[in-house]
Amino acid sequence: MEISSSSNIITITGNIKSVGDFQSIKTTVDSLKSSNQTIFIEIKDSISITSSVIGYFNKLVLKDNIDVNMKVGDSQLMELLDDLNLKSVFKVTAS
């Protein structure tokens, strides 16, 4: 997995899998959230996502009141987020 950021836009390429991936995502988003109330996250091609990443994004929205806008490239991940009723929480759209 690779992660890059520009302004309040975060782009994740490759598959999200390991604890290390979660830590990278958390570190990147944490560095942006102090100066941005709205964050755009594009998950380009990951087929799935780990529960720790879901939990972290959930906390961003519900506790830190960050406006998360997620773009998802893979249909399997889209389906998983739908099953978990997270599409509206993370304002998920297809990229």
Partner 1 sequence: MPLQEQEIKELKEKHEYQSYQEDLAFAKELNILRNDFYYQMIDATHISLVDFLYQPLDLISGDAYTARRIDEHRTFYLIVDGMGKGLSASLTAMTMTSFINHIIDKMIEHDSFSLDILVKESMAYMNPILLEEESVSVDYILFDTAYDNLQYSKFGMPASLMQDKSHNLIKIKSNNPPMSKYQLNYTINECDVKEIDKFLFFSDGIIENTTSDNMRTYADYIEDDFKHSFTREDLKTKFFSKIDEAEDDITLIFINRIPFEDVVSYKESFTTSLADVDKASEWYEKLWSSLSDNTEVSYKAGVVFTELYMNAYEHGNLGIDSATKHKLLDDDIYFETLQEKEMSCNKKIDVKVSKLSYNSSNYVITQISDEGEGFDTQILSEIFRNSKTFNGRGVFVSRSNSLGIYYNSKGTTVLYLHKV
Q: Which window, 4-12, 32-40, 65-73, 81-89, contacts partner 1 (CB under 8 A)?
A: 81-89
Closest approach of Cβ 17 to partner 1, in Å? 5
Q: Which two tokens stand for residue 57?
A: 């994004």
Q: Which two tokens stand for residue 90?
A: 């993370």
On whether the CB atoms of residues 8 and 33 are closer than 8 A, the answer is no
For partner 1, the closer CB: 6 or 34:
34
Find how far residue 7's CA is from the centre of its chain: 15
Among the listed residues 56, 61, 73, 91, the single contact to partner 1 using CB under 8 A: 56
On whether the CB atoms of residues 29 and 9 are closer than 8 A, the answer is no
User: Could you list the residues that contact partner 1 (CB under 8 A)?
Assistant: 15, 17-20, 23, 47-52, 54-56, 59, 63, 80, 83-85
